[in-house]
Amino acid sequence: MVLVVDIGNTNIVIGVYEGDNIAGSWRMVTRSEKTSDEYGIFILNLLNYNNIKQEDIKSAIVSSVVPNVMHSFQNALKKYFNIEPIIVGPGIKTGITIANDNPREVGADRIVGLVAAYHLYGGEPLIVIDFGTATTYDVLSESGEFKYGITSPGIQISADALWQKTAQLPSVEIKKPKSILARNTITSIQAGLVYGYIGQVEYIVKKIKEELNTANMKVIATGGLGRVMSDETDVIDLYDPQLLFKGLKIIHDKNVK
């Protein structure tokens, strides 16, 4: 079995692969102050609860955009599983080419998503949208070359900013109201957030296709709020909630003999 881990700004998402199938997946809140013992015991408890034996975990791969977490997390895997994890970063085999101006600045999560999209859905130009803490739009050529990426505040960041920076606006559930013509504060905020974000997605995708003069680009979405967006616009061709897990497993297999 292979442990796959994506450490994001908001959540740490953990999965276990048995062969090519996901045997289980879980998430926890990202906190940089946790110790290696806390991470180790937490993972062991998850595995035990799901009847997965500690000794069955033979290797691990980790992608992270939170450097402060990595020391404790790596030590947890070494201490409790006797594993030296593969870390997604410069020099690792991925099967794609990072060809933008600063390859070393590209987040590990973006690389992982692009790898999965290329190997699973490639053969034509792709746009990979990850609706996470930030929303990223990454462009991948049919040959697996990544040159262009766009980053915007995630929809939850936008919602939190409204709530935190205004005296009278409440925190609201992110969902699409029945009409953009809101008649109360709650639906007014929801309309602005969701309809506004749909508009952002559609416009950015349109401009990417225009500037590249390429109409037939497949658009793949992932991330926690990707389902909400993919259900509300026809510019997204496919929503894959497991895209990062799949990318981690693909990279793992390329780097383990």
Active site residues: 109
CB 61 within 8 A of CB 14: no
Residue 61 CB burial class (10 angstroms; 0-12, 13-18, ≥19): buried
Count of CB atoms situated within 10 Å of the CB of 15:
21
Q: Is 119 left (phi over 0), alpha (psi -120 to 50) or beta?
A: alpha
CB 18 within 8 A of CB 1: yes
**Which candidate, 239, 201, 245, 210, places its Cα nearest to that of 222?**
239
Which 3 state secondary structure label does DSSP give 34?
Answer: coil
